[in-house]
Structure 1
C-alpha cells in the first residue's frame, strides 16, 4: 500500500517506534516528577480538607495514598487534575498512585525516574499497596523495585505474601472469614435437561477435584469417547459421583449406629515449599507450587491434617548442581531444577509457567550440548517453535540470564528481574 512515503526497512521502522515509546515514557516521568513537587507544596496537616478516594458516588474517606504518604489539599488537587486533563475521580486516583510510589515505594519510584520501570507498571503496584501497612508496603517495594517483567498475578501473590508476613493475624482472620463462604450448589434443570454447578472450595480441595476429573476425562478419551474435552470432563464429574454412591466401604458409626460410606484419601500430590524458619514458627509463609502462590502456615496445617494424607519430605534441591546425562530425553529431576530456577518461559515478556513449558537445549544436543540444567531452558510451545523455526536466537551469558536477538536485530535481556531491552540494532 503506497502512502506516498519513502520505503524504510523493518528495522528502521521499529527503531523509530522504539524512540517514540521511549520519548513518551520520558515525558511521563517528567510529569510524575512535577506531580511529586506539587504534592510537597500542597500538604495539609490533618484529614479535614485532605483529598480522599471516591468509589462510585461515595467518598470513602480513605486518603489517596497509603499510611505515611502526605495528605494533600482536596481543592488544590482539583486544579491539578484539571490541568492534567483527567476526570475528577480518575485524576485523583492517578495522583494518589504517583504519591504512593514517591513516598511509600521509593525504590519503585527511583526505578521509574531512571527509566528501568514503566510508569504504568508502577501504577499497578501502587494500586495494590495502598491498603498495606508501611512494613508490608516496604517489603513489596524491596522485591519489585526493578522487576519490569512482573505480571499482574505475580504482583497480587506478592502483596498476599506481604500481608501474611507483616499482618498474619489479619491474614488468618480474613482467610477464616472467606472459608465460611465455601459452597457447592447445583441449579435447577434447564430446558435442555442440564444443570449448572457453582462452587467455592478450599484451594487444595479444588486442585484435587480438578486433577481427579482431568484424569478420568483422559481415560474416557482413551476408551473411545470422541466428545470434546469439556464434555468428557462433565461426564467424568458425574462418574465420580456415581462411584461414590456405589462404594461398598460401609461401616457403622460407633456412637449412633448409623452406616456411613468412607472414601479414599487424597491421591493428588500438593507440593508445598517451607523453610526451616517456617517449621520453627518464625516465618508465617510457605509456598504452594501448583497454585503458584504464598500460603499461610495455618492453611498448610489444615491440609496436613486431612484424613489419609501422606506427607513426604523431600531434600532441598540445589539449583547450582551440574548433573549431566548422556541421553537427549530430559529427566524429571532436571525439569524440576529448571522450573524452580526460571519459573516462567524465558522468551521476552512471556509469563507462562515453566512447569507448562517445553525444555529447550540451549546448545543443541546433536552439536554436543549436554542434557544438564545448565544447558536447559523453559520455553512455551509457541516460543520454542519461534526459536526452532525462525531467526529468533538467544545466548546465555550467565546462569538464568538470557539475551534474545529478534529477526531484525533487536536484543532483549531476560533474567529474574524481567525483560529489558538491551539496545536498538544498527541501522
Structure 2
C-alpha cells in the first residue's frame, strides 16, 4: 500500500498541515503557526482544520504556563505568610497575591481568585489534568470543569475521578465532560456531592453586570437546581401561551420581559400585558469642556510618560546588573524622586492648605468627580462608596489636599497599608501629580492610574 508521502508525490503536492495532529504544543509549534509559508489562503480545508486544532493545543500549552507561574508565585507568598504575624489592618500575603495577579493580567479580583485557585488545584491535587492541559489534550474550560467538579472530594477520590475522566477526554465537549463527572461523583461519593450542594446553595446570590451597549445582565446564581428548573419551566409555559395568542416577540424575549416585570413587583396577570422592555439606551448629554483642568490633564499625561520612561530605564539597569530582587525598592525610589521633582510645580498649581484630617464635603466631591471608581488599577467600586485616602499619610508630610487624596475601597485601602508593615515586599502608592497614581507591586511591577475622564 502506498504511503501518504507517496500519494502526495503522485498528486504533485505537499500539504504543510495535513496529519499534524501528532505535533505537540510548545516553541516548535509556535514557529510553525507563525511561519510565512502557512498563509491561510494557501491551505486546503483539511489543513485549516489541522491548523485550528494546533492553535488550540498551543493556547492550552500557554495557559498551562500561565497557571504554573501563578502557582509558583502563590507558593512564595504562602511562605511569606508563615513568617509574619496576622494584622487585620493590612492584606495577608495570600490576599496581596490576588491583587498582584489582578493587575498583572488586567482581570478583576474575582477572576484572579479563580485563576489562583485553579493553579493551586492543578499543581497539588490534579497533576494529571495539569499535564493534559500542557500537552494540549484539554483546554482551559475543560481543566476548570474537572477542578470545579472535584473540588469537594478527598484527594484519593479526586485522583480516581481524574484518572477516569481523562480517558478519552479529547473527544468530549465541556458539557459532556461535566455530565460524566457528575454521574461518576454521584455514584462514587453521593454524600460528598449532597454536602457540596448544600455549601454551594449557601452562597446563592443575585448578580448584576453591564453587558455592553447600555444593557445589563441580572441573574440568580447557585440557587437549588429544582427551584431554578421550576421557575424556568413556568416562564417558558407562559411564554408559549403568549406566543400562541399572537405575541410577536421571541420566546427568550418574552421570558426575560416577564421575569423583569415580576421582579419589579407587577403581579400576574398584569405582568402578562405589560409592554415590552425598551432596550434603547438614553441619549447621552454632550460633555461640557472644562478648560480649567486642561493644564492639569496635560501635566498628568506628561507625568505618566515620564514615569514610564524612568521605570523602563530602571528595569534595564536592574536586569543588566542582575539585581532583580532590588526592583521594588529601586522602583519606589525612582517614583519618589519623580514626586519630589514635581513638588514646586505641584505646590504652585494646587495651593494646598485644608485644615484637619477629614476632607470637607466639597473637596470629597471634587475627588470623587476626578476618579469615578477606586484608584486600584482593576477595581470598579464607585468612589462614593470608597474611603478618601491620604496617599502620603496625614501628619507625615501628607496634607488633606487634592494632590494627596484619592478614593480607595476598603480592600485596596488595606492593600496600600501593607507598605507600613513591610517596606521590602509591600505595595507602594505615590501621587506625583493630583489625580495621577502610581502603584508598585511587591514584585516590582508598576501601574499608573489616571483621572477617569482620560
Q: Rg larger in 1 or in 2? A: 2
Select the structure that is richer in strand.
1
Select the structure that is richer in helix.
2
Greater RCO, 1 or 2 (C-alpha within 8 Å, sep 6+): 2
- Flag whether TM exceeds 0.5 (same fold): no
TM-score (normalised: structure 2)? 0.29
TM-score (normalised: structure 1)? 0.30
